[in-house]
């Protein structure tokens, strides 16, 4: 019945492709209404997972530009260090209020690691760490996008199956109506 | 995307048809994403243009240029070359996105032909 050969992907069950509606209903021993109810429930479950994956995707898509900004700043600080001048920057103290800072040449930066932890790194180490984080984030995003594509395919298969089961039922009813007047 | 067939006649859906339908769905999603990405890229291009024009007009030697979350004091020439680089990168990105969009649109047109050819009225592939 499932012609795809993939039964699930990272916890998401694959939707079985139905070759033939009648044999599908016989093999699963379901009447039309139960089959439709089952498929609708599957569709709901897929939607729930889709919401979760989309939220994760948004988080990652916000994280990547942040890491790139950090890399930019560290590179700027390193370049300034070579020139021997201090970097003067205006930064936001509070919303709408800015102050000026003079950043003297320095070999190290502090990186915020999360969970109220900040560590000091040399500029080179910081660049290596940030680049690694960036690559990991991009790789995770790729996997996530592939997951979403797989999920959406399963949603489409399920929607098509629902339509086909429904149409088959309509067709059967028409056949029965056409047949019954002849019997009496 | 799918409508119930009006005539009730059974046109069988093969696994190949299902895969075509799935592919059409994926392409349609990608098309929407591309629309958004192209819009953002065009806005960035415009912003960089405006920034570059402001630079020409200003007579200050030191410009406050945003790096990360702060505004660093950077000499005007360096800001000019930074903005030029950013413009180049954005323009290339925009070109790549437009090319991808054209590929996606033509693939979708192909699939529409195939699917409408087999299913005619039983399938609806238009944007609601």
Q: How far is A163 from chain B (nearest CA, A)?
A: 6
Helices A32-83 & A21-28 angle (0-180, nearest 10): 100
Domain locations along chain B: 13-117
Structure tokens at B12: 């069988």
B121: which DSSP letter? G
Of B19, B24, B70, B67, give the one whose Cα is nearest residue A100.
Answer: B70
Can you give A6-52 as a three-state secondary structure string?
Answer: CCEECCEECCCCCCCHHHHHHHHCCCHHHHHHHHHHHHHHHHHHHHH
Judge if pTM exceeds 0.80: yes
CATH of domain B13-117: 1.10.287.370
**pLDDT 10s digit of each residue in chain A, 184 long?**
344 567 788 888 888 888 888 888 988 888 999 999 999 999 999 999 999 999 999 999 999 999 999 999 999 888 888 888 888 999 999 999 999 999 888 888 999 988 999 999 999 999 999 999 999 999 999 999 999 999 999 999 999 999 999 999 999 999 999 888 765 5
Q: What is the pLDDT of residue A182?
A: 61
Indicate the helix (H) or strand (E) that contains B70. Answer: strand B70-75
Q: Which helix (H) or strand (E) holds A97?
A: strand A97-103
* Nearest CA among A50, A29, A57, A1 for reference residue A154: A50
Contacts of A149 in chain B (CB under 8 A): 26
Q: Which residues of chain A does B9 touch, with a Cβ-Cβ cutoff of 8 Å?
A: 171
Q: What is the predicted pLDDT for the residue at B120?
A: 87
Q: Please, what's the b/e burial string for A55-64 (b: 16 or more CB within 10 A of its CB; e: otherwise)?
A: eebeebeebe
Q: Is the ipTM of this complex over 0.85?
A: no
């Amino acid at each position: 019945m499932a012609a795809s050969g993939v039964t699930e992907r990272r916890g998401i069950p694959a939707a079985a492709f139905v070759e033939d509606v009648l044999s599908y209903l016989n093999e699963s021993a379901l009447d039309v209404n139960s089959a439709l109810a089952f498929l609708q429930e599957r569709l709901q479950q897929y939607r729930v997972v889709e919401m979760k994956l989309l939220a994760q995707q948004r988080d990652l898509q916000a994280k990547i530009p942040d890491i790139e900004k950090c890399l930019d700043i560290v590179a700027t600080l390193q370049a300034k260090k070579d020139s021997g001048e201090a970097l003067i920057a205006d930064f936001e103290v509070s919303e709408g209020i800015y102050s000026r800072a003079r950043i003297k040449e320095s070999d190290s930066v502090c990186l915020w690691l999360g969970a109220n932890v900040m560590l000091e790194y040399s500029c080179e180490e910081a660049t290596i760490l940030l680049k690694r984080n960036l690559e990991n984030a991009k790789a995770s995003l790729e996997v996530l996008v592939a997951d979403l594509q797989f999920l959406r395919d399963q949603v489409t298969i399920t929607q098509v199956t629902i339509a086909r089961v429904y149409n088959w039922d309509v067709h059967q009813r028409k056949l029965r109506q056409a047949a019954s007047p002849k019997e009496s | 995307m799918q409508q119930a067939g009006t005539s009730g006649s059974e046109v069988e859906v093969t696994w190949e048809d299902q895969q075509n339908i799935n592919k059409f769905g994926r392409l349609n999603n990608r098309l929407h994403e591309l629309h958004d990405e192209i819009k953002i890229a065009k806005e960035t291009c415009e912003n960089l243009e405006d920034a570059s024009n402001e630079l020409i007009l200003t007579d200050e030697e030191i410009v406050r240029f945003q790096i990360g979350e702060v505004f660093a004091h950077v000499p005007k020439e360096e800001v000019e070359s930074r903005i030029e680089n950013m413009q180049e990168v954005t323009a290339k990105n925009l070109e790549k996105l437009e090319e991808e969009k054209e590929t996606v649109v033509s693939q979708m047109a192909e699939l529409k032909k195939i699917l409408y050819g087999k299913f005619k009225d039983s399938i609806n592939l238009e944007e609601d």
